[in-house]
Amino acid sequence: MTDTAQGTSRRYGTRPTMKDVAARAGVGLKTVSRVVNGEPGVTPDTERRVQEAITALGFRRNDSARILRKGRTASIGLVLEDLADPFYGPLSRAVEEVARDHGALLINGSSAEDPDREQELVLALCARRVDGLVVIPAGDDHRYLEPEIAAGIATVFVDRPAGRIDADVVLSDSFGGAQEAVAHLIAHGHRRIGFIGDQPRIHTAKERLRGYRTAMAAAGLPVDESWVTLGSTAPEHVRAAATAMLDGPEPVTALFAGNNRVTVTAVRVLRERPRPVALVGFDDFELADLVRPAITVVAQDAARLGRTAAGLLFRRLDGIDEPPRRVEIPTRLIARGSGEIRP
């Protein structure tokens, strides 16, 4: 009755299977399966015996086998740039939360903004047969995904559109947000405004630049090309760019920072300057209101991006078949002071 360790040689690292449980409970294999899955058709007494055997042996269903048999993995993959970036943490969490509501686990990976690594990760996830993918693309050619999508792996892109394939995508309104930011600076009297953005191959960087140019043009302001820098967002690079704009022959009186990493470095640079320079940053961040001057930003709702994307994904997984959608999430200008400095 209490013979927990009995004849069945349980080597370390070897798990009991349903067969073992069945043998111990003196029932058939399928009966154990029924109990484990809560299927009907088992008498209370049999069920109890099976439960006892499960507990005694420490049995846990092997989901790998289950997945193989059923064809669905109840897991989705998320590929983003860097989990350590404060913009992606909330996004990832939101995706996870939606996945959880649908009983799915989340496997995620960071591409480090490297297209090859993105592809490697995505294909590894496909080999695992995740049910769906949420991808923040690093590359700009996703034709490699075509066979996977055709084979039924639902895919939603977030933050940036897919390259060369037609797929669902959820974006922030980078263009509109940038336009609004720059218009805000113009409204406060600025005429020479600098823009420091991410690498030009990144969609959001291009869109924000376009917003900047459109706003400038709409106000009839010329743009000196020394006021625009796209490239690495590494601190030293941003620092050099900002310094050049501020000390150039046509010094800017305001800066528009293309993302949160740029903004942070810009704040540091401006802090060292004798005269105040106006600044608006794309992306909100914690404590933006506590820095002096408080930082005016164009806020994107990362969690909402993630929720929306995951929602779209599970719609697909639930079998809703419709042409690829493009959802745009509005941004919001939060005026806090740094953008209201007059030239």
Partner DNA sequence: TAGCCCCTGGACAACGTTGTCAACTGCGGG
Partner DNA sequence: CCCGCAGTTGACAACGTTGTCCAGGGGCTA
Residues that bind DNA (CB under 7 A): 15, 17-19, 22, 26-31, 33-34, 36-37, 40-43, 45-46, 59, 61-62, 65-66, 68-71
Closest CA to 182 of 28, 333, 31: 333
Smallest distance, Å, CB 3 to DNA?
20
**Choosing among DNA, a second copy, none, which partner's interface includes residue 190 (Cβ < 5 to 8 Å by kind)?**
none
**Local structure of 137: helix, strand or coil:** coil
**Choosing among DNA, a second copy, none, which partner's interface includes residue 37 (Cβ < 5 to 8 Å by kind)?**
DNA
Nearer to DNA, 122 or 278 (CB): 122
Burial of 17 (0-12, 13-18, 19+ CB in 10 A): middle
Of positions 29, 48, 101, 147, contacts a second copy by CB under 8 A: 147
According to the binding rule CB under 8 A, does residue 90 interact with a second copy?
yes
Instruction: Say how many residues make up the chain.
Output: 343
According to the binding rule CB under 8 A, does residue 8 interact with a second copy?
no
Partner residues linked to 78 by β-bridges: 108, 134
From CA 115, how far away is CA 22, in angstroms rounded? 49
Smallest distance, Å, CB 85 to a second copy?
7
According to the binding rule CB under 8 A, does residue 249 interact with a second copy?
no
Smallest distance, Å, CB 28 to a second copy?
22
Cα angle 320-324-328, degrees, rounded to a multiple of 5 = 110
From CA 300, how far away is CA 302, in angstroms rounded? 6
Residue 36 neighbours by CB under 8 Å, 6+ apart: 18, 54, 61
From CA 341, how far away is CA 140, in angstroms rounded? 38
Smallest distance, Å, CB 267 to DNA?
51
Nearer to a second copy, 109 or 343 (CB): 109
According to the binding rule CB under 8 A, does residue 93 interact with a second copy?
yes
**Choosing among DNA, a second copy, none, which partner's interface includes residue 36 (Cβ < 5 to 8 Å by kind)?**
DNA
Of positions 17, 33, 52, 86, contacts a second copy by CB under 8 A: 86
According to the binding rule CB under 8 A, does residue 324 interact with a second copy?
no
Q: Please report, as a single letter, which amino acid is at residue 294.
A: A
Smallest distance, Å, CB 64 to DNA?
7
According to the binding rule CB under 8 A, does residue 52 interact with a second copy?
no
Closest CA to 201 of 209, 193, 190, 191: 209
Q: Which two tokens stand for residue 257?
A: 């920072």
According to the binding rule CB under 8 A, does residue 58 interact with a second copy?
yes
Classify each residue of 276-312 as buried b or exposed e, where b means 16 or more C-beta atoms within 10 Å of its C-beta: ebbbbbbbbbeebeeeebbbbbbbbbbbbbbbbbbbb
**Count of CB atoms within 10 A of residue 40's CB?**
5
Partner residues linked to 170 by β-bridges: 158, 327
**Choosing among a second copy, DNA, none, which partner's interface includes residue 28 (Cβ < 5 to 8 Å by kind)?**
DNA
According to the binding rule CB under 8 A, does residue 151 interact with a second copy?
yes
Of positions 31, 46, 92, 296, contacts a second copy by CB under 8 A: 92
Q: Give the interface segment with a second copy, choosing from 21-29, 58-66, 196-204, 323-331 (CB under 8 A).
A: 58-66
From CA 253, how far away is CA 185, in angstroms rounded? 10
Chain residues binding a second copy by CB under 8 A are 12-15, 58, 60-65, 67-68, 73, 75, 82-86, 88-90, 92-93, 96-97, 100, 105-110, 123-129, 147-148, 150-152, 264, 267-268, 271, 285-287, 290-292, 303
